């Protein structure tokens, strides 16, 4: 599970990590410190696999010269206009039919491209029909035999129909986009509820297991302290005894992790600046980053990004994600970027340039005890997810940005 969290590959030649603001080991883009920075709005924003489109935006391929528009709008307008011009004025009923046929490409253009398409088609129709309706070019073309008032009203109707159909089409497109967004949000909430239920049930099980482990473990540790004084330092059995004590300590750490997952402490909510959380984490991982040949870059805005949260727990969340990145990178090094930004919500975004997470791992990424190739206990991201949920926030992962992106979203604190 934790392997995908921080995969980052490809060393950039940094033997450790560089400093831009005096904090050795961290490449910082802190605008408050006067260094060059990327504002949150300048960064490539995630929207699933691609950049987000504005609500109600029409899909690509719906331009005025798209194949559909050429085949179903502009070509029919051309054919109807040519038919008008070559049809004798004595056949009035044919001209009546041809005038009505103009409405079809106008409506199709509106359905395809909204108000812009409907109005454009109506204007083109009006311009192509005007010479036929009111012009006299002798034998070069025939004039529409209808009376002037009817022809003028027809031109007005072309434009009215184009505008009305275009407005209705745009409105329908916006409603469809809203429904799609609501469906995505509903699916996200359902996924969170299912995951929360699984974590709650698993938490109760893990709590019982941790409790049962701790009771004999305390007895074993107490006995070990007594026996330790009995075994001489130079005895042959001493090495095995040290191994025995080390395994007891490891078992105690595992038990503590189980307890942390089963019953995460209640957060002490205070006004916390997420920029300080980002700075603290980058300082904590500095030594490990140098050892692993990983370049760490911190980006924070000039203004404070305030949330109501437990500072220590939020540091733990970001720290877990960054360490997972280092663990998956291995010894080849790479890049990890930590960005704090503010918009509709406060966010800490952690990206790395390593291998992307497989779809199977993405689905189970926050499940307890899901251990990927990077190793670990399989509890780091599960605990982080529960902490973020206690802060009424979200923790998401996707293949985006440098390669893998984790986003911690939290409600902004009231000013």
Residue 252 is predicted with a pLDDT of 82
367-373, long-range: CB within 8 Å, 24+ apart, which pairs?
367/1, 367/195, 367/198, 368/199, 368/202, 368/206, 368/261, 369/1, 370/1, 370/2, 371/1, 371/2, 371/3, 372/1, 372/2, 372/3, 372/4, 372/328, 373/3, 373/328
CA-CA distance, 127 to 74, in Å (whole number)? 13
Residue indicated by tokens 């893998």: 404
Contact 349, 357 (CB under 8 A): no
- Ramachandran bin of 232, using left for φ above 0, alpha for ψ from -120 to 50, beta for the remaining angles: beta
> Alpha-carbon Rg of the chain, whole angstroms?
33
**Edge-to-edge strand order for the sheet containing 294-300?**
27-30, 294-300, 334-342, 346-352, 404-410, 394-398
Work out the widest C-alpha separation in the chain, in whole angstroms. 123
- The token pair at 342 is 């503010």
Task: Select from 282, 315, 352, 278 the least CA-distant residue to 24.
Answer: 282
Residue 98 is predicted with a pLDDT of 92
Give this prediction's pTM: 0.51
Which pLDDT tens digits describe the chain residue by residue (415 residues)?
434 434 433 333 333 444 334 333 445 444 433 333 343 333 333 334 333 444 455 554 567 888 888 889 999 999 999 998 888 888 889 989 999 999 999 999 999 999 999 999 999 999 999 988 887 665 556 788 888 899 999 999 999 999 999 999 999 999 999 999 999 888 878 877 777 777 677 777 777 777 778 778 888 888 888 888 888 888 888 888 888 888 888 888 777 777 766 666 788 899 999 999 999 999 999 888 888 888 999 999 999 999 999 999 999 899 989 988 887 676 677 889 999 999 899 999 998 887 888 887 777 777 766 665 555 556 778 788 888 988 999 898 888 878 889 999 999 998 7
Residue 127 is predicted with a pLDDT of 93
Residue 1 is predicted with a pLDDT of 40
Residue 4 is predicted with a pLDDT of 40
Residue 370 is predicted with a pLDDT of 61
Task: Select from 4, 17, 10 the least CA-distant residue to 406.
Answer: 4
CA-CA distance, 168 to 54, in Å (whole number)? 18
Residue 263 is predicted with a pLDDT of 66
CA-CA distance, 148 to 127, in Å (whole number)? 16
> How many other C-beta atoms can be found within 10 angstroms of the C-beta atom of residue 317?
29
């Amino acid at each position: 599970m934790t392997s995908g969290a921080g995969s980052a590959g490809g060393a950039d030649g940094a033997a450790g990590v560089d400093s831009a603001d005096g904090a050795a080991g961290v490449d910082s883009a802190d605008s408050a410190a006067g260094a060059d920075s990327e504002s949150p709005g300048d960064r490539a924003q995630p929207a699933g696999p691609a950049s987000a489109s504005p609500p109600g935006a029409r899909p690509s391929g719906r331009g005025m010269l798209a194949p559909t528009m050429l085949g179903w709008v502009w070509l029919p307008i051309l054919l109807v206009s040519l038919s008008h011009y070559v049809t004798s004025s004595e056949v009035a009923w044919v001209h009546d039919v041809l005038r009505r046929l103009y409405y079809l490409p106008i409506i199709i253009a509106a359905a395809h491209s909204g108000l812009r398409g409907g109005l454009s088609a109506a204007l083109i129709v009006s311009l192509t029909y005007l010479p036929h309706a009111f012009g006299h070019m002798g034998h070069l073309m025939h004039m529409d035999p209808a009376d002037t008032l009817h022809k003028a009203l027809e031109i007005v109707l072309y434009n009215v129909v184009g505008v009305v159909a275009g407005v209705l089409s745009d409105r329908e497109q916006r409603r469809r986009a809203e429904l799609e967004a609501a469906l995505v949000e509903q699916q996200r909430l359902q996924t969170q509820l299912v995951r929360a239920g699984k974590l709650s049930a698993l938490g109760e099980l893990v709590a019982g297991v941790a409790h049962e482990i701790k009771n004999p473990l305390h007895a074993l540790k107490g006995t070990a302290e007594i026996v330790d004084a009995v075994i001489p330092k130079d005895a042959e059995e001493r090495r095995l005894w040290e191994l025995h004590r080390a395994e007891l300590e490891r078992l105690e750490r595992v038990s503590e992790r189980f307890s942390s997952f089963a019953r995460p402490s209640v957060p002490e909510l205070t006004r916390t600046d997420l920029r300080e959380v980002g700075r603290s984490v980058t300082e904590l991982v500095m030594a490990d980053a140098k050892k692993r040949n990983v370049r760490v870059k911190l980006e924070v805005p000039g203004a404070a990004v305030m949330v109501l949260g437990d500072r220590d727990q939020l540091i733990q969340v970001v720290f877990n994600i960054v360490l997972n990145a280092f663990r998956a990178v291995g010894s080849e090094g790479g890049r990890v970027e930590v960005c704090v930004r503010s918009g509709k919500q406060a966010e800490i975004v952690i990206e790395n340039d390593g291998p992307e997470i497989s779809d199977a791992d993405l689905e189970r990424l926050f499940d307890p005890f899901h251990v990927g190739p990077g190793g670990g206990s399989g509890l780091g991201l599960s605990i982080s997810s529960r902490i973020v949920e206690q802060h009424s926030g979200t923790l998401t992962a996707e293949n985006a940005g440098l390669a893998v992106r984790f986003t911690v979203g939290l409600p902004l604190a009231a000013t």
